[in-house]
């Protein structure tokens, strides 16, 4: 009686383990997909900000705008001031362009990862639905080999221990 209860409890625990692993994998995949989408959204926002800044720098780099920047300043060397301003703006423009190129590659990578994660979520959902509605023999075989074989070994060990105790108890009674 005691061993039957242990066997039933082990069977229930193992079957709940199989279900929880599948649900956990789906939740992890959904969480990862959400994280990737958020990261992609932030990268696209940053890319838009840098694009706006690049347009502003291109506007500021026009010769008439550089000259207009120094209107009202009195200087004996206005050419040096204009050249210094142009170099400063060009350096910042080069830095913004490098950041945009890096963000473009990041966005491309993230888009590919989002697509892969979406495919994984879809496959896991489809697999879960397929198992619930129409069990696949290959999937059942996988579950049997992964879960039931260790369970059978555990049961065999428990039976051997129980049988050994029964024999030992019978020998003591005699």
The residue assigned the tokens 């920047």 is 69
> Per the domain annotation, does 166 fall within a domain?
no
Q: How many domains does the chain have?
A: 1
Each residue of 80-113: pLDDT tens digit?
A: 888 999 999 999 999 999 999 999 999 999 999 9
> Per the domain annotation, does 152 fall within a domain?
no
Structure tokens at 156: 């065999």
Higher pLDDT: 44 or 136? It is: 44
> Per the domain annotation, does 18 fall within a domain?
no
The domain of 69 spans 30-134
Alpha helices in 61-148 (DSSP H): 63-69, 78-133, 137-143
> Per the domain annotation, does 38 fall within a domain?
yes
Angstrom distance (rounded) from CA 60 to CA 57: 5
> Per the domain annotation, does 77 fall within a domain?
yes
Q: What SS3 class is residue 59?
A: helix
> Per the domain annotation, does 13 fall within a domain?
no
> Per the domain annotation, does 23 fall within a domain?
no
Each residue of 23-64: pLDDT tens digit?
A: 566 788 889 989 999 999 999 999 999 999 999 999 999 999
Angstrom distance (rounded) from CA 154 to CA 105: 52
The predicted structure's pLDDT at residue 18:
47
Each residue of 142-165: pLDDT tens digit?
A: 666 666 677 778 777 877 777 777
Cβ contacts of 16-21, under 8 Å, gap ≥ 24: 17/147, 18/143, 18/147
> Please, are residues 162 and 3 in contact by the beta-carbon 8 Å criterion?
yes
């Amino acid at each position: 009686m005691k061993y039957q209860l242990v066997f039933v409890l082990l069977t229930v625990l193992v079957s709940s383990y199989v279900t929880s692993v599948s649900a956990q994998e789906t939740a992890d995949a959904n969480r990862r997909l959400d994280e990737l989408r958020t990261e992609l959204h932030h990268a696209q926002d940053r890319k838009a900000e840098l694009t706006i800044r690049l347009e502003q720098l291109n506007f500021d780099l026009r010769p008439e705008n550089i000259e207009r920047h120094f209107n009202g300043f009195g200087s004996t060397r206005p050419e040096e001031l204009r050249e210094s301003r142009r170099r400063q703006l060009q350096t910042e423009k080069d830095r913004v362009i490098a950041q945009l190129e890096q963000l473009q590659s990041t966005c491309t990578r993230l888009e590919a990862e989002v697509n892969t994660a979406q495919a994984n979520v879809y496959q896991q959902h489809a697999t879960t639905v397929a198992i619930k509605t129409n069990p696949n023999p290959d999937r059942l075989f996988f579950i049997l080999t992964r879960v039931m074989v260790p369970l059978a070994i555990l049961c065999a060990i428990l039976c051997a221990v129980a049988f050994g105790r029964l024999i030992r108890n019978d020998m003591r009674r005699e």
